[in-house]
Amino acid sequence: MKQKISLLVLMLILNLTTFANKFQAIDINPGGSISVEDVTRIVKVQNLKLKTALKDIQAKNQRINQAAVLPNPEFEIESENIYGSGEYAKLDNAETTIKIGTPIELGGKRHHRIKAAKLNKMISMHMYALVLSDVMKQTRQLGIDVLKQQDLLELAKKRVKTNQSLLNEIKVRVEKGRLSIVEQKRANILVSQSELAIKKRNLALTKSRNQLSLMWGFPEAQFDNIQGNIENIDPLPSLDVLDSQLDQSVALKIKKEVLELSRTNNSIERSLGVPDLTLSGGIKHDRSTKDKSYVISGSFPLPIFDRNTGAIKASEYLLIEKELELEKLSLEYQNKLNSLHHELTVLKIEISELKQKIIPQAKDVFNTLKDGYLQGKFSYLAVLEAQNSLFEFKESYIETLVQYHKLFFEIKQLTGEIIEGEENE
pLDDT band, residue 178 (cuts 50/70/90): confident
Whether residue 16 is predicted with pLDDT greater than 90 in this model: the reply is no
Q: Which has the higher per-residue pLDDT, 61 or 21?
A: 61
Q: Using CB atoms within 10 A of its CB, is residue 240 exposed (0-12), middle (13-18) or buried (19+)?
A: exposed
Specify the fold of 2-69+105-273+308-424.
Outer membrane efflux proteins (OEP) (1.20.1600)
* Pick from 209, 245, 251: nearest CA to 31: 209
Whether residue 194 is predicted with pLDDT greater than 70 in this model: the reply is yes
Give the rounded percent of residues in the chain with a pLDDT score beyond 90.
Answer: 71
Crossing angle for the helix pair 181-213 and 380-414, nearest 10 degrees? 10
Predicted pLDDT of residue 9: 46
CA–chain centroid gap for 269, Å, is 33
Mean pLDDT (whole number) for 48-75: 92
Interatomic CA distance for residues 401 and 348, integer angstroms: 9
Q: Which residues contact 425 (CB under 8 A, 6 or more apart)?
A: 37, 40, 41
Collapse the DSSP code of 347 into the 3-class scheme (helix H, G, I; strand E, B; otherwise coil) and give the result.
helix
Highest mean pLDDT among 58-62, 289-293, 314-318: 314-318
Domain boundaries, the chain: 2-69+105-273+308-424
Mean pLDDT (whole number) for 91-101: 89
pLDDT band, residue 173 (cuts 50/70/90): confident
